[in-house]
Amino acid sequence: MRTRVAATLTALVLSVGLAAAAPASADPVVSPDDAIDYVALGDSYTAGPLIPLPTPGPLGCVRSSSNYPAFLASYLKVRTFTDVSCSAARTEHLFTSQTGNLPAGLPENQNAPQLLAVTPETDLVTLGIGGNDFGLFGEMIDQCGALAAEQPDASSPCRDHFTVDGVDTKIRDAQAIRGNVETALAAIAERAPDATIVVVNYLHILPESGTCADVPFAEGDYAWGTTVHQALNTSLREAAAAQGAEYVDMYAASAGHDACAGDAAWVNGATVKPTAAISYHPFRSGMKAIADETYRQLTGAEPAAFVLPVLQLANRLPALVDLGALLTYVASGGSVPTQTIDDASAPEPGVLADVVARLAELDAAVPTAP
């Protein structure tokens, strides 16, 4: 029930906003004709910050309505779709609440433990997580460009900076992330024992060769950064294999679409583009590519040639909508007052009371790491 109310409320807000290369699996694990309950978990590479249009609930997660979970939900015949991904999330935020990216003190800046969205009724879970653990990517983004500018004659100042007593701390941390993700996958499987669980790795950021102005790293740090990135993806692949999860290799699928690929890039470079993507994060094209590849691998079929994920979500609106409750919801920025839920009209008598009771039950059952 929780997934149903989340999908409905998200769709309502999105409808208002509108008005104002891994090969396919030989053995499909999801039928494109089955009605499924789908939950998306993850960090900013799942959430899609600054890709239009943003979704509410909470606003501090900077979650897009055109991220790959939204595209994938549009391709599949979903019964319910819940996306609780949040920018800056670490694997620990599957188990604990997360403060979002808004300035301190503002509302809509807390994301509940993401695992709360996963229930025994869940059929499909996608997980994109790990890059923020130990500050893996964030510290590199903060430091590598600055160090290249400060030390123009150095070959790999960022690698040197993160090598301590002969230990490459970034490689070390990338390898350690495997254990974090294994713990997360085990917890997901415990909460949804019949679900198909899919780990999605991270797109190419740096090119296979050469450099470009869009990524102002020192030349030697390009190769080193790629090594760190590959170590992280190896951890994700090994964690998926150890826990029996599906694995979508978007690093392989995105070759030639790195941040230096110009118009063919699926990932942004260093410059924040307010209506497209934050620095070193996927564009809408990258999100669609992830959804396409995931759909192929899960179903063995090709996705629809053209979809608008926001419109597809809006198609799942209930038959009867209380306009006053909807306006209150939008005005509150996604915070749903209890009175709004109580007063909202619904296509089935009593369904909202069941939703409220189920939410209270789930919120009381905070997940713990196995």
| 58 prior amide bond cis, ω within 30 | yes
- What is the token pair recorded at 267? 């990932």
Alpha helices in 250-283 (DSSP H): 250-253
The sign of the dihedral angle between the CA atoms of 290, 295, 300, 302 is negative
Contact 185, 240 (CB under 8 A): yes
Question: Which among 25, 31, 44, 65 is annotated as catalytic?
Answer: 44
Q: Is 281 a catalytic residue?
A: yes
Tokens of 203: 């797109």
- The encoded tokens of residue 204 equal 């190419």
Closest among 222, 212, 230, 227 to 156, alpha carbons compared: 222
Calculate the alpha carbon distances from 163 to 128, 149, 167 in Å: 27, 19, 5
Catalytic residue among 93, 161, 204, 281: 281
Residue at 64: amino acid letter: S
Dihedral sign for Cα 297, 231, 269, 97, please. positive
- Bridge partners (DSSP) of residue 42 are 128
Please tell me the distance from the alpha carbon of residue 130 to that of residue 140, in angstroms, as a whole number. Answer: 14
Structure tokens at 169: 């701390």
**What secondary structure does DSSP assign to 276-345, as a single string?**
TB-TTSB-HHHHHHHHHHHHHHHHSSPPPS---HHHHHHTT--SS--HHHHHHHHHTTT---HHHHHH--
Catalytic machinery residues: 44, 281
